[in-house]
Amino acid sequence: MRTIATADVGGTHARYALAGLDGDRVVSLSEPVTLKTNEHASFQLAWEEFGRRIDQPLPKEMAIAFAGPIGGEVLKLTNNPWVIRPALMQEKLGVDRFTIVNDFGAIGHAVAALDGSAYRHLCGPDRPLPDHGSVTILGPGTGLGVASLLKLGRGYEVISTEGGHIDWAPLDSLEDRILGELRRSFRRVSIERLISGRGLMNIYEALATIEKRPTAIHDEKELWAAAMNGSDSLAAAALDRFFLTLGAISGDLALAQGASAVVIAGGLGLRLVDHIGRSGFRDRFIAKGRFERLMDDMPVKLITYPQPGLFGAAAAFAKEHA
């Protein structure tokens, strides 16, 4: 068995851990070190802080899940000012071999490698993920991550996407009005503007304008708490609309990717798991006209493994360098 470092770098947090590999399998993952990205000026400085925290020499091999497009000489995070220059990895970080994957590409590798105990069933037939075919993976967090996993029996391929930036399509008259309000702030309203950590605030503020009510909550954490405990009726209405939109978008992406199952990931998904079943998520997920039967027969699961990004990045490294 050999040990590599693995990192999951998002818009708000960067997580680091040590992963044990046995051939092409990840067999262990250490307790992660979580750092706030706004407290460190660069990936290198956060990497050095990780080394100080674990108080041991860092491995010479590394896997990185990166919340942004992969490719080119300079990798820029979508919601974070850090950049990574792959050509300088050895010089700056002292690593000899590395793998960099999109953050939701890493989730795809995790979904391919983890067993059924890593999931919680949400709706549709309660059966395992398929051994063959496509699985749609999405997850709201700082942004909205989207990937596709193509399972090929004994092998698999992960397709990283920027699906969170496709246009949002309203489905009823209230959503038409919400779209009108959001257009006052955004030149283009993508699905990430609604289905993300910030998305609930966008919906809440739009509903407040439509209802001609003042916005009593201005902090995102307070808004999420009020929405989930029902202490603020406008926040609760925004959360209802959030779930409806999440259901519709999950179904749209599954149709677009030819999926036979859907997996929802991300820390926000874990916080919402107990609310999804009581929401309108499933109704919107299957409401696809002539394809309603197809959607009704599609399992939707939530990944509950605590660090799928770290695990998936390590799995991607194992797949590439086994």
pLDDT band at 58 (very low <50, low <70, confident <90, very high): very high
Could you tell me how far CA 264 lies from the centroid of its own chain? Answer: 8
Q: Specify whether the CB–CB gap between 262 and 250 falls below 8 A.
A: yes
- 7 labelled as ligand-binding? yes
Residues 6+ apart with CB under 8 A from 290: none
- 11 labelled as ligand-binding? yes
- What distance in Å separates the CA atoms of residue 215 and residue 300, rounded to the nearest whole number? 34
- 12 labelled as ligand-binding? yes
Q: Specify whether the CB–CB gap between 303 and 264 falls below 8 A.
A: yes
- 33 labelled as ligand-binding? no
Calculate helix-pair angle for 199-211, 233-257, nearest 10 degrees: 130
- 24 labelled as ligand-binding? no
**pLDDT(158) > 90:** yes
Residue spans per domain, the chain: 2-114+305-321, 163-303
Query: Residue 102 pairs with which residues in a beta bridge?
Result: 66
Note the pTM of the prediction, 2 decimals: 0.90
Q: Specify whether the CB–CB gap between 203 and 238 falls below 8 A.
A: yes
- Please, what CATH class does the domain formed by 163-303 belong to? alpha beta
- 164 labelled as ligand-binding? no
> Which has more confidence, 156 or 322?
156
Round the CA-based radius of gyration of the chain to a whole number and report it.
20
Task: For residue range 62-119, list pLDDT tens digits in order.
Answer: 999 988 778 888 888 766 788 889 988 888 899 999 999 988 899 999 999 999 999 9
- What distance in Å separates the CA atoms of residue 236 and residue 256, rounded to the nearest whole number? 30
Task: For residue range 183-227, list pLDDT tens digits in order.
Answer: 999 999 999 999 998 999 999 999 999 999 999 999 999 999 999
- Please, what CATH class does the domain formed by 2-114+305-321 belong to? alpha beta
Residues 6+ apart with CB under 8 A from 59: 3, 4, 5, 18, 95
